[in-house]
Each structure stands twice: as C-alpha cells, then as structure tokens.
Structure 1
Amino acid sequence: MLEIVGWVFVLVFFAIGFIGLVYPVIPASLFIFGGFIIYGLFFSFADLPWWFWLIEILFVLLLFGADFLANAVGVKKFGGSKAGLVGSTVGLIFGPFIIPFAGILIGPFLGAIIAEILVNRSSIKKSIRSGIGSVVGFITSALTKGIIQAVMVGIFFWVI
C-alpha cells in the first residue's frame, strides 16, 4: 500500500511539473526534481546514483536559464526593449489570474504592449511587435522546457 502512495506522489509531482510549463507561477522543474526526492524518501535513494543527481541538477539550472532567455530573446528579436520584457513578464505572471487559460498568452502580449507604450512612448505597431515577440518567446520556452523535463523524467525511469 505504501508503494502505491509513493508512486502516486511521484506521478502527481511530475504532472504538476508539466502543468507548470503553461502556468508560470508553478516552479515546474522544482516539482519534477521533487518527484525524484519523493521517490528516494518512499523507496530508496540508493536506486539513484550520484551521476543521476548531477545530471538532473544541471537540467534544473538549464531550465531556469532557458525560461528567462527565451522570453528575452523573443521580445528583443521583435524589436522590444527592457520595458517590453518587464511588461511581458508581469503579464505572464498575472495574466492567468485575470483571464483564466487565455491569460497565459494574452497577459504577456498586453504587458509588453502597455510597457512599450508607457515607458518608451513606442508606436502601436512597434509595441504590438514586442507583444508578439513575447508570445513567441513564451511558446518557445514552454516547448523547450517540456522537452527537457521529458528527458529528465525519462532518465529517472531509465535509471530505476
């Protein structure tokens, strides 16, 4: 019975990690990593060798960096500024709360546009390009992180 409870917790943590790909308030990679820790607590840390932990920690660090970098590159590539990046980040955090589901895309889009207009006095056209860059950056980031997280979980199941 305890084995079933342990696996349920591990799988729930993995699921929350993948939900975190599109819901930025959830620290997705930490939930994936938490699933590994729960496995060790319920079963055995001996099943997970040192190199497993090293690889997984490197992936977690990569995920944190990729998240910021993809958004920044998306905004910059489409002509946005630091204000657009900050606005898109604020929109990404608050958008899903204001507009459930659609807010994940609309929030960063509008955040970048509003910030570009208010801070830089940018034209509507330039501001919209920044907003589009923000959305492209978010989607790119989510896809990249999803692949990395799938690799993390795949390595886990391969090791055990």
Structure 2
Amino acid sequence: MEILLWMIVVALFVISIAGVFMPVLPDTLLLWGGFLLYQFAIAEPGAGLPASFWWGMAVLSVLIFGADILMSMYFVKKYGGSKWSSLGAIAGVILGIMIFPPFGIIIFPFLIVFAIEMFFQNQPADRALKAGLGSLVAFFSSAVMKVAVQIIMIIWFFIAI
C-alpha cells in the first residue's frame, strides 16, 4: 500500500509541473496534495514534515500564484506598454484561464494589451505589437519561474523527509 501511495505522490508532483503549461491543472494544489498525502497517509504519526517546511511551502506557493500577474505587469511595461496595458495583461491572464484554457492565458493578454495600446493609447501598430509581445514574454518567463520554484519545492520535500 505504501508503494502505491508513493506512486501517487510522485504522480502528483509530475502532473503539477505539467500544470504550469496547462492552466486547467491546478499546479500548486497538486503539489500540496502530494505533501499532504505524505503527511497524513505515509509518514509515521508524529514524524511528519516540520513546521519550517510548511511555512516555506506557503511562501513559495504565494510566489507561484503571483508569478503570472507580476511577470505580466513587468514585461508589458518593459516592452513599452502603458499602465493600462499592464492592468489589461492581468485581466487577460484571469480571463484567459477562465474562458479558454489553456491557450487563453497566452492569447487573451496579448490581444488585450495590443488593443489597449492601439485603440485607447493611440500608439502605432508596431509599438502596440511590441507591448503585446511583452505579454507573451511574460507568460514564458513566468512558466520558467514556476517550474523552477516547483522543482525547489519538490527537492525541499525530499530533503525534509
């Protein structure tokens, strides 16, 4: 039985990393599922993961949740987008996840940023396109960051046990 539980823990970790690229999968929640499964089904009573592990995972989870939003704001602005475009990129990430996962998280921020720059900020098409591309760079940058943080979390888990 313990081998089956360990296989489920490892599967949850692998699927969580896939969830970075497929937003319909709740990546961080899958990681936590693996941690909790170990804590309550595999670990000996009273010998589970230390409190420092749980606090660290909480901080890193907040970082993962904020990655898409923070990266969208940063890269849209870096690529010449306005404050309104940065806010539009955040709205695009949220709408993209809800309306058209998994591709919406890439398409919606781009289209919203492009439209804001082109039609509301009266920027030329090339500058609006550049700001829109900033939203694409943001998605890929946040994906790399999220995978790195998840790998750190998984390594920390195995060190902690």
Shift of 1:129: 1.0
Shift of 1:42: 1.8
Shift of 1:60: 0.9
Amino acid at match of 1:152: M
Shift of 1:108: 3.1
Contact kept, 8 Å, 1:75 with 1:131, in 2: the verdict is yes
Shift of 1:142: 1.0
Question: How far, CA to CA, are the matches of 1:105 and 1:127 in structure 2?
Answer: 16
Paired residues, what number?
Answer: 158
Q: Over the residues paired in the alignment, what is the CA RMSD in angstroms? A: 2.6
Corresponding residue of 1:151: 152
Say whether residues 1:67 and 2:78 are aligned partners.
Answer: no
Corresponding residue of 1:3: 2
Amino acid at match of 1:75: V
Shift of 1:63: 1.8
Of the structure 1 ranges 113-122 and 9-18, higher mean CA displacement relative to structure 2 is found in 113-122
Q: How does 1:4-153 map to 2 (within 5 A)?
A: 4-44=3-43, 46-92=47-93, 93-94=95-96, 105-153=106-154
Detail structure 1 runs of 4+ shifted over 6 Å in the superposition: none
Shift of 1:121: 3.3
- Structure 1: 5+ residue runs without aligned partners? none
Shift of 1:100: 6.6
SS state at 1:79 partner = coil
Of the structure 1 ranges 23-32 and 146-155, higher mean CA displacement relative to structure 2 is found in 23-32
Change (3 A) 1:100 1:50: closer
1:1-33 alpha-carbon deviations (Å, 9 max, x no partner): x22331232123212211221223433222212
- Structure 2: 5+ residue runs without aligned partners? none
Question: How far, CA to CA, are the matches of 2:79 and 2:25 in structure 1?
Answer: 27
Shift of 1:97: 7.1
Shift of 1:120: 2.7
Of the structure 1 ranges 143-152 and 14-23, higher mean CA displacement relative to structure 2 is found in 14-23
Change (3 A) 1:65 1:89: closer
Counting aligned pairs with the same residue, the percent is 36
Shift of 1:112: 2.0
Contact kept, 8 Å, 1:66 with 1:145, in 2: the verdict is yes
1:68-123 alpha-carbon deviations (Å, 9 max, x no partner): 2111100011111244334434544538975976x654443233212333433332
